[in-house]
Structure 1
Amino acid sequence: MKTSTLAFAAAVGTAFALGAVAAPSANAADNEKCYGVAKAGKNDCQTNTSSCAGTSKTDGQKDAWIYVPAGMCEKLVGGSTTPMKS
């Protein structure tokens, strides 16, 4: 397994284990789209190559996003608040 893949998995796993990644709240202003951190099939909405949630093909797909609490994305390895080219 690649070192970058291990680092990504460790960062996301730690965030979930510590409860840092919560479900989106009712107030959308408290959340932000975070690109490049979703597991395959766990994205929240469409990507450049698919039209629905849950259809990303690879872990960390650059154009797939999930909602995270505001400010969390910049703390995740590989996370970006803007779409990245694959």
Structure 2
Amino acid sequence: MINTRTLLGSALAAATSLAASGSFAGPAAQPDFSFEKCYGVVKAGQNDCQTATHSCAGTSTADNQGDSWIYVPAGTCAKISGGSNEPKA
């Protein structure tokens, strides 16, 4: 028989691992500095929020997707090669 301590320990371990794995992903928190969204410069899996092609932060599937964005300090996006303040088609 499974004792109660083992059962509770297993349940706690499972809940902790789910929370740590990021399975409850959503939009990234807004930074505490003056920021802008920069489109088209994000590596796969590093985007900050949902787009028309994926649902959550960290779910982009290709590098430099035109509709994937990341928060950057204000005034920085125009200095990044391929960066745009508007989504690319």
Asked if these proteins are the same fold (TM beyond 0.5), I'd say yes
Superposition pairs of residues 4-15 of structure 1, within 5 angstroms: none
Q: Which residue does 1:40 correspond to in 2? A: 44
Q: Which residue does 1:60 correspond to in 2? A: 64
Higher relative contact order by CA 8 Å / sep ≥ 6: 1 or 2?
1
Deviating beyond 4 angstroms after TM superposition, the runs of 4 or more aligned structure 1 residues are none
Q: Which residue does 1:79 correspond to in 2? A: 83
Q: TM-score, normalised by structure 2?
A: 0.64
The CA distance in 1 between the partners of 2:51 and 2:31, in whole Å, is 22
SS in 2 for 1:74: helix
Question: Kindly tell me: are residues 44 and 25 of structure 1, through their superposed partners in 2, closer, same or farther at Cα, counting changes over 3 Å?
Answer: closer
SS in 2 for 1:33: strand
Count the aligned residue pairs. Answer: 60
Q: CA deviation at 1:25?
A: 4.1
CA-atom RMSD, angstroms? 1.2
1:1-26 per-position Cα deviation (integer Å, ceiling 9, x unaligned): xxxxxxxxxxxxxxxxxxxxxxx741
SS in 1 for 2:72: strand
Name the % identity. 62
Q: TM-score, normalised by structure 1?
A: 0.66
